Amino acid sequence: MDPTKDSNQTGERLSAESREPIRFAGTTLGDYGHICAFFHSPDEEYRALLPFIKKGLEHGEKAFHVVDPQLREEHLRRLRSVGIDAAAAEQSGQLELRNWQDVYLCDGHFDRNKTLALFKEVFDSAKQQGFPLTRSVAHMEWVPEDRTGVNDLVEFETRVNYFLPHYYRDPVICVYDLAKFGADVVIDIMRTHPMIILGGILQENPFFVPPDEFLYELRDREGGRTVASA
């Protein structure tokens, strides 16, 4: 058997599979890969995430996960529970598992521009390594509780919509624990994602606001707070 021919056939198969419609929570993603996933519990979260993660790995795609460092081992345990060889995937580079500090808080604080650049670098690097697609799962409970931190997060989320659909088809699942955010923050986060999952059901988000419009609203809010403070 010619190993080169076998390798080429495998690559062609994986490439063809990567062009299949991507499904998450029973719905085809279509052109919108920026998804806000609200969950009430870890069990509800992983029921939705694990099939999505496993399918991507089976298709030869890269998995990029950002987790709470205190829950890193629990995340790996969940992956193993559905038959994913997480250790082998990490060793090969197919699974890249990073802690919050390494992605969002590199210098001890959140810099939205650096974080956007990091995600672009991850997607581009994965393609250079031969992965047809990157499926990202990012847990977002790291955000500082003060309003400034929340505003920076919201602006980051809306700016993702500038580059993700135009340059990449890599899906990004932003995971939020509903118990850790107030209603006003949840509403803002909801409005920055074209797709949303609530109650385990994924759907196009009727509350989504285009980034130009949302950024204008954020600037208007900031101006109002500055005047009130003065």
The CA-to-CA distance between both ends of the chain, in Å, stands at 77
pLDDT digit string (tens) for 144-168? Answer: 655 456 778 889 999 999 988 777 7
CA 58 to chain centre: 19
pLDDT of residue 148: 55
Number of alpha helices (DSSP H) and beta strands (DSSP E) in the chain? 9, 9
Judge whether 175 and 118 are in contact, CB under 8 Å. no
Model confidence at 12: pLDDT above 60: no
Mean pLDDT of 101-111: 86
Selection from 7-21, 80-94, 112-126, 169-183 with the highest mean pLDDT: 80-94
pLDDT digit string (tens) for 50-98? Answer: 999 999 999 999 999 999 999 999 999 999 999 999 999 999 999 999 9
pTM of the model: 0.84
pLDDT of residue 123: 93
Long-range contacts of 83-88 (CB under 8 A, 24+ apart): 83/54, 84/53, 84/54, 84/57
pLDDT band, residue 201 (cuts 50/70/90): confident
Maximum Cα interatomic distance, the chain, rounded to a whole number of Å: 77
